[in-house]
Amino acid sequence: MRVLVTGGAGFIGSNLAEALLAQGHEVRILDNFATGHRRNIESFLDRIELVEGDLQSYERAQTAVQGVDVVFHLAALPSVPRSVQDPLTTNAVAVTGTLNVLLSARDAGVRRVVYAASSSAYGNNPANPRFEDATPQPLSPYAVAKLAGEHYCRAFANVYDLETVSLRYFNVFGPRQDPESQYSAVIPRFIRALADGETLTIFGDGEQTRDFTFVDNVVAANLLASTAEIPSGEVFNVSCGASVTVNTLVRELSDIMGRTPEVAYLPARAADVRDSEADISRARKTLGYEPTVRLREGLERTVEWFTARG
């Protein structure tokens, strides 16, 4: 199968591209390296086709989708705080970029688009665990933009008969996640702080809950979604289906790394969701998805990866 991974030099995209290569697929990556890194793909760069460009350009999207069977659309600016600071750019990348991908895929005869949606769409909906039919209550510009992409996927499935699948990721972590960015997710930031003996910063009281999901589980869900016989336009939660508090996460990482950190609690950030846990029964039943890497193992593997790279 010939595939395109948008955002393929990013954290999740590079892990997915590597897995696709391992299965014998022909892989093309489109990335503008705004948040992705060449180091993420250097170990297999000679086995892929790399297209550099921005999805805000319809012409670039057209070029990238030519001749592919499936598009895995992961390109975005993945940060709630960034979207609060700069909603215009978040919208342009996530909404206009997704529309360009869908239009190009439609016109090029692509069989299916697998879209990286986000659990942020649920916001503070009181239903917990989250199930896919719950009413979205997005709190941040990022959540609104990612939800708009879902709606575009469903519209293209209904109007243009383009097969689409949306996967709502829950707090993905693992190797290649960038700890350097000011918008880094909590786990790489905590690992780096513990390794360097620095104070860990938690926004809020630390009792907020998250369904942390190791990247291999997300990769597996994408692979399943690319071939499964499912109703076009469907939405699936992708997670471990279990949540922990941020304070518990700190204790787990401290135990794994053998460090006892100082923790500073700051006021909760604007648009942060209080509690988040996924119901993954739909993905289990329809996709055959089953998370194989649980939190402790995922944290151990992530710590090992970061430690090996200093």
- Domain boundaries 2-172+214-241+279-292, corresponding CATH code: 3.40.50.720
CA 110/CA 279 separation, integer angstroms: 30
142 noted as active-site residue: yes
The per-residue pLDDT for 183 is 60
The per-residue pLDDT for 111 is 98
pTM: 0.96
- Cα-Cα-Cα-Cα dihedral of 271, 277, 282, 284, to 10°? 130
Helix (H) or strand (E) holding 116: strand 112-118
Residue type, 307: T
Bond from prior residue into 138 cis (ω within 30 degrees of 0): no
Per-residue pLDDT tens over the stretch 259-285: 999 999 999 988 888 999 999 999 999
Domain boundaries, the chain: 2-172+214-241+279-292
With contact defined as beta carbons under 8 Å apart, do 5 and 20 qualify? yes
The per-residue pLDDT for 211 is 96
Q: Which residues of the chain have pLDDT under 70?
A: 182-184, 310
The per-residue pLDDT for 195 is 94
The one catalytic residue among 122, 142, 152, 169:
142
The per-residue pLDDT for 55 is 93
**Tokens linked to 156:** 């293209």
Residue type, 289: Y
